[in-house]
Amino acid sequence: MHSVKIGILGLGTVGGGTVNVLTRNAKEISRRAGRDIEIAWAADRDLDSPKICKTDGISLTDDAMAIINNPEIEIVVELIGGTGIARELVMKAIENGKHVVTANKALIALHGNELFAKAQEKGVTISFEAAVAGGIPIIKAMREGLAGNRIEWLAGIINGTGNFILTEMRDKGRDFAEVLTEAQALGYAEADPTFDVEGIDAAHKLTIMASIAFGIPLQFNKAYTEGISKISQEDVKNAGELGYRIKHLGIAKKTPQGIELRVHPTLIPHRRLIANVDGVMNAILVHGDAVGSTLYYGAGAGSDATASAVVADIVDVVRALTSDPENRVPHLAFKPDSLDNTPIMPMSQVVTSYYLRIATEDKLGVLADITRILSVNGISIEAIVQKEPEQQGGMVPLIMLTHEVLEKNMDAAIMQIEALSTVKDSVMRIRMESLG
C-alpha cells in the first residue's frame, strides 16, 4: 500500500517538533497507522532561518498554497497559527478534498463552525487535538472515551503562562509584574502577553472543549474572560491562609438555565488535585454522570508535547482514509444535525461563592455597613477576617468569604460597598469553586 503524503505548513516550534517526532518514531507510527507516512512537502515563510528539525528528503517552499494545490498531498498539517492566512489555507485545503490537522485553537474557536460544515460537505476530516492543552489528549478523551457520559462540568488550567505566574507568586512571594517579565524572558509569554494573562487563549480552548462536552456550536464570543493582572501578593497570601490556592481556570458547566462558559481567577481548596498543578503544566478536570470526576494532566505546550498530539491526529486521519465519511468520529463529538441550541448564560446569571478583599477606614460601624449591604442583596457570609493595618491610622484589610450567590447580586453589592465614604479602593473579588 502506498505511503500517505503529508504537507506541513509552518516549521516553527510545533512544526519542527512534528517533523522530529514523525522522523524519530517513523517505524512505530507506521505500525500504528497501518501505512507509512511521508512528509513530502513543508512550507515556511523564512526558509533560511535556523530550524529545530532536519529537513533532509523534504521538499521545501515558501509558498504554502503550492502545498494546498499539490494533488499528491492527502493531509495538510496547519501549524502557522492565527486566523488570517491560516483560515484561507485551511478552507482551500478542504475545498481541494484534503484532510486537515491543526494546532490552531483560535482558528477552531472562531471559525470552526464554518470549517466543519465545509469539511462535512467535502467528506474530509479536520483534526485539532493539539489545539487544546498541548500534549494532553483531552479532545479524544471527551469525544470518544467519555462518549457514554452526560458531561456535567469541566474545569481546567489551560494556559501554562498564567499558571507559572501564579505559582511563582505563591511559592516565592513575588509580584505579578516581576514574574511576568521573567516569563517573557523564558519564552513562556509573548512580548504582548494579553492573550495569556487576560484569559483569551484559555477562552479559545474552553470554547472548543465546551462544544464537545455539551454538543453545542462553537460560541467564543459568548465566553466570559477575566485575567490575572489584578491579583496581588496579598490575595495569594490570604488564599493560602484560608486553605485555598488561586488558579486561572476555564470553567464550563451545564445547568437547567443554560451553559456557563467562563475564564477567571478562582480560589480552589488546596486539597484538590488540580490546585496542586504548578508551573507551566496544564490539567483538566471533567465530571461525567457515569464516570464521576476524571483528571487529565500534562505539558500544555512545547515542541515535542504538542507535536505528540499533532502526530496522533495524523495517525487517526490515516486510519480513517478508507472509511465512509458518515461513520467517522464527528468533529464536535455529536453528529452535526444533533447539535443543540442550549444558550450560553450571561455572567450575571452564574451562581458561585466569592472571596472579597475590602480596604476600609478604621472607624466604628464600617463592618456593620458592609454586612448590611451584603444582607440586603441576599449574600450570606461564610467567614470574615479583619487584619491589622500596615501603619497606624492606615486602611484596614477586610477579607470575606461568602456562600453561593447570583453574580448580579454580588455586582450590586460591590457597587454599593464601593460607594461608602469609608471604602477608598475598589473591592477585590475572586470567585470560588469547590470542584467537588
Give me the helix-helix angle, 160-172 and 233-241, nearest 10°: 70
Active site residues: 205
CA atoms of 301 and 414, how far apart (whole Å): 38
Residue 320: what pLDDT? 85
Supply the DSSP symbol for 332. T
Residue 311: what pLDDT? 95
Question: What string of pLDDT tens digits covers the 436 residues of the chain?
Answer: 689 999 999 999 999 999 999 999 999 999 998 889 999 999 999 998 999 999 999 999 999 999 999 999 999 999 999 999 999 999 999 999 999 999 999 999 999 999 999 999 999 999 999 999 989 999 999 999 999 999 999 999 999 999 999 999 999 999 999 999 999 998 888 888 999 999 999 999 999 999 999 999 999 999 999 999 999 999 999 999 999 999 999 999 999 999 999 999 999 999 999 999 999 999 999 999 999 999 999 998 888 999 999 999 999 999 888 666 766 666 766 777 778 889 999 999 999 999 999 999 988 889 999 999 999 999 999 999 988 776 666 788 999 999 999 999 999 999 999 999 999 899 999 999 999 7
Looking at the DSSP bridge assignments, the partners of residue 41 are 7, 59
Q: Cell triple for residue 433?
A: 469553586
Residue 129: what pLDDT? 95
Q: How far is CA 435 from CA 66, 143, 222, 380, in A?
A: 49, 22, 23, 20
Residue 332: what pLDDT? 66
Residue 321: what pLDDT? 84
CA atoms of 261 and 252, how far apart (whole Å): 5
Dihedral over Cα of 16, 17, 20, 26: its sign: negative
Residue 301: what pLDDT? 84
Three-state SS for 148-213 is CCCEEEEEEECCHHHHHHHHHHHHHCCCHHHHHHHHHHCCCCCCCCHHHHCCHHHHHHHHHHHHHH
* Cβ neighbours around 309 below 10 Å, total: 28
One-letter amino acid of 199 = G
Dihedral over Cα of 153, 159, 162, 164: its sign: positive
Q: Cell triple for residue 279?
A: 508551573
Q: Which domains does the chain have, with CATH numbers?
A: 4-135+303-338 (3.40.50.720), 138-299 (3.30.360.10), 351-432 (3.30.70.260)
Distance of CA 325 to the CA centre of its chain: 29
Q: What are phi and psi of 375, to 5 degrees?
A: -65, -45
Burial grade of 59 (CB within 10 A; 0-12, 13-18, 19 or more): middle
Residues 6+ apart with CB under 8 A from 219: 207, 211, 261, 344
CA atoms of 158 and 206, how far apart (whole Å): 8
